[in-house]
Amino acid sequence: MVLHQMPRWSARLFRAPPGWRRTCVLGPSMGSRWLPDRWGMYSPLVCRGYSSASGSPEVMLTCKRYPVQRLPFSTVSEKDLAAFESIIPGRVITDPDQVEACNVDWLRSVRGCSKVLLRPQTSEEVSHILRHCHERNLAVNPQGGNTGLVGGSVPVFDEIILSTALMNKVISFHNVSGILVCQAGCVLEELSRYVQEQDFIMPLDLGAKGSCHIGGNVSTNAGGLRFLRYGSLRGTVLGLEVVLANGTILNCLTSLRKDNTGYDLKQLFIGSEGTLGIITTVSILCPPRPQAVNVAFLGCPGFAEVLQTFTTCKGMLGEVLSAFEFMDAECMRLVRQHLHLAIPVQESPFYALVETSGSSVGHDAEKLGSFLEQVLDSGLVTDGTVATDQRKVQTLWALRERITEALSHDGYVFKYDISLPVERLYDLVIDLRTRLGPLAKHVVGYGHLGDGNLHLNVTAEAFSEGLLSSLEPYVYTWTAEQQGSVSAEHGLGFKKRHVLGYSKPPVAVQLMQQLKLLLDPKGILNPYKTLPAQD
């Protein structure tokens, strides 16, 4: 495992937008990486009205942009720094430039003003650090790859940043059961490579895999591209070691598929975004590596036909279906317009990307062939193309995965990540087009149809309060009326914590607050995140 400090996206999945400096660094086991130009980087979410002394756009401090009050935590003293230095000699970072990179999220939408970055290597070091912070009432912001989309991974004020970057060792891998045990700071892509060499795959895959840490994936209960096939981390994570707020090490690091001894405590830490404990070690079940991967890119005449294609697909592809994504015509027009990618099928109101992963090349091709014949004959699909070789598979996936990038070229983007009952998945897009009219440049919908997960994006020439107030709370209310989730896979972090109530009843929110109080009575772990501020 090699240390990487800067956000690193899989080259296949993320192309540098204008303003990024492309720097390709190759190591013996690392592949290519993108290192962002620290100040020159452009993001549609950058706060344009706020500039640094140098004149380049700088991210406005979260505490200035948002109405949030610092809680009465202590401030880091020289004595604290000395204590940290004695726990992790040489790994207490106070150099402003180094700390600054960890103060800003990768979307450049939120920015803390921490003065200290700690880089422990072991759970015991994390334990000693937290024991000190707990005694001294110092707030701590755990940070993995800093690739979160809701401002959960950077400080809001001056919280100490505790990075898992140096906790990047594989502890064990069992090549019969496929059980991997590793430290929280292992980068997902490196773990993928590691287990693939032994004919397994990681049970999750994400666009941010080149940077994100497995500990962060678990802390945010990451979904991603393999969710439809391999399910939630709540099923595939077998064990965790966690350091609690007071420094106690909680060892739930079993590597057993079945264990019904008492309450399953690890579940408390999956998806709680570092607010209940810091995950230091993960035990996770890896599925066998598929021998064959096929991708079909299809054009559909309407959303009803997309849904019927999905149903047909589930029936006919069954166990080899590994992804079902949909995109509307607007998405694909933007991809063509801004990225000059060719859409390999005739223009259609909707498109679907279907992936199969299986253990037999011939069988999978045959299953896919029968399915395609069926959906073409019945008119559910009007045109389509299939890829079997890896290069073409990647080309087709790029049409789906580069939508985010295409949108960022279109102007300011308002982003929503919601779960809805599958048959209502596209209604909100249609509804918003009517509601917003000329206020919006484009209203587009795409996402993981197989998981009922819609990525709804609205673009405009520039940020507009008027547009925002037409969108919010409307989008959240609409979602709540359908019993949907206002955050399907991104979590709540800092930016969405106030919308929790749209998806959870007051009784649930109250119980969450009680759990927080039980596990972190002083509230030092990732404060201002996940749960709404209490009056």
131 touching its own copies, by CB under 8 A: no
Compute the least distance from the CB of residue 340 to its own copies, in Å: 32
Q: Cβ of 24: how many Cβ atoms within 10 Å?
A: 10
In one letter, which amino acid is 147? T
Of residues 162 through 201, those in contact with its own copies by CB under 8 A are 174-178, 199
Element (H or E) spanning 351, and its range?
A: strand 350-358
The reply to whether omega before 473 is within 30° of 0 (cis) is yes
Region for 217 from its dihedrals, namely left if φ exceeds 0, alpha if ψ lies in -120 to 50, beta otherwise: alpha
DSSP for residue 207:
G
Residues 331-390 that bind its own copies (CB under 8 A): 357-360, 363, 366-367
CB of 523 vs its own copies, minimal distance in Å: 15
Choosing from 101, 361, 398, 515, the residue that interacts with its own copies (CB under 8 A) is 515
Tokens of 299: 């054009």
By the rule CB under 8 A, 527 interacts with its own copies = no
Part in contact with its own copies (CB under 8 A); list of ranges 89-97, 98-106, 333-341, 444-452: 444-452
529 binds its own copies (CB under 8 A): no
The answer to the question of residue 470 lying near its own copies (CB under 8 A) is no
| Burial 207-228, CB ≥16 within 10 A → b, else e | bbbbbbbbbbbbbbbbbbbbbb
Among 492, 494, 525, 528, contact with its own copies (rule: CB under 8 A): 492
Q: Under 8 Å CB-to-CB from 141, ≥6 apart: which residues?
A: 112, 114, 153, 154, 155, 159, 160, 161, 162, 274, 526
Q: Which is nearer to its own copies, 67 or 505 (CB)?
A: 505
To its own copies, the closest distance from the beta carbon of 250 in angstroms equals 5
Out of 103, 236, 294, 457, the only residue in the binding site for its own copies (CB under 8 A) is: 236
Say which DSSP state 509 is in.
H
Q: Determine if 534 is a binding residue for its own copies (CB under 8 A).
A: no
d(CA 533, CA 75): 21
Question: To the nearest whole angstrom, how small is the minimum distance from the Cβ of residue 205 to its own copies?
Answer: 15
From 85, 135, 389, 423, residue interacting with its own copies (rule: CB under 8 A)? 423
Pick 36 or 224: Cβ nearer its own copies: 224
Query: Least Å distance between CB 257 and its own copies?
Result: 5
Binding status of residue 491 toward its own copies by CB under 8 A: yes
The rounded Cα 21 to chain-centroid distance in angstroms is 23
Answer yes or no whether residue 263 interacts with its own copies by CB under 8 A: yes
Name the minimum Å distance from CB 149 to its own copies: 11
CA 500 to chain centre: 18
Minimum CB distance to its own copies smaller for 457 or for 479: 479
Q: Binders of its own copies among 48-107, rule CB under 8 A?
A: none
Q: Which residues are CB-contacts of 360 (< 8 A; sequence separation ≥ 6)? A: 291, 292
Stretch that binds its own copies, among 88-96, 376-384, 387-395, 511-519 (CB under 8 A): 511-519
Beta strands 350-358 and 292-300: pairing type?
antiparallel
Q: Does 533 bind its own copies (CB under 8 A)?
A: no
Nearest to 307 by CA among 441, 474, 462, 420: 420
Contact set for its own copies, span 288-327 (CB under 8 A): 288, 290-291, 307, 310-311, 314-320
DSSP 164: -
Of 25, 477, 483, 533, the residue at the interface with its own copies (CB under 8 A) is: 483
Binding segment toward its own copies, per CB under 8 A, in 69-77, 126-134, 404-412, 420-428 = 420-428
User: Is there binding between residue 477 and its own copies (CB under 8 A)?
Assistant: no
CB nearer to its own copies: pick between 36 and 491: 491
- Binding region for its own copies (CB under 8 A) out of 35-43, 183-191, 265-273, 324-332: 265-273
CB of 330 to its own copies, least distance (A): 23
Report if residue 10 touches its own copies, rule: CB under 8 A. Answer: no
Kindly provide the residue ranges of all beta strands, DSSP E only, lying in 46-175, ordered along the sequence. 92-93, 117-118, 140-143, 160-163, 170-174
Q: Using CB under 8 A, which of the segments 99-107, 260-268, 325-333, 374-382 binds its own copies?
A: 260-268
- The DSSP secondary structure of 244-313, one letter per residue, reads -TTS-EEEE----S---SS--THHHHTTSTTSS-EEEEEEEEPPBPPSEEEEEEEEESSHHHHHHHHHHH
Task: Give the burial string for 168-206 (b: 16+ CB within 10 Å, else e).
Answer: beeeebeeeebbbbbbbbbbbbbbbebbeeeebbbbbbb
Note whether 231 binds its own copies by CB under 8 A.
Answer: yes
The amino acid present at 184, given as its one-letter code, is: A
State the Cα–Cα distance between residues 137 and 528, nearest whole angstrom.
15
Least Å distance between CB 52 and its own copies?
Answer: 33
The residue (of 342 and 507) whose beta carbon lies closer to its own copies is 507
Stretch that binds its own copies, among 38-46, 293-301, 438-446, 502-510 (CB under 8 A): 502-510
Part of the chain binding its own copies (CB under 8 A), chosen from 329-337, 429-437, 467-475, 509-517: 509-517
Q: Does 6 bind its own copies (CB under 8 A)?
A: no
Q: Which amino acid is at 282?
A: V
Report the residue from 85, 135, 259, 347 that binds its own copies according to the rule CB under 8 A. 259
CA dist., res. 234 & res. 451, Å (int): 15
CA 439/CA 441 separation, integer angstroms: 7
The reply to whether 255 sits near its own copies by the rule CB under 8 A is yes
CB 27 → its own copies: shortest distance, Å?
Answer: 31
Helix (H, G, I), strand (E, B) or coil at 318: helix
Size of the site for its own copies (CB under 8 A): 93
- Closer CB to its own copies, 211 or 272, in the complex: 272
Q: Per rule CB under 8 A, is residue 113 in the interface with its own copies?
A: no
Chain centroid, CA 1 distance in Å: 22
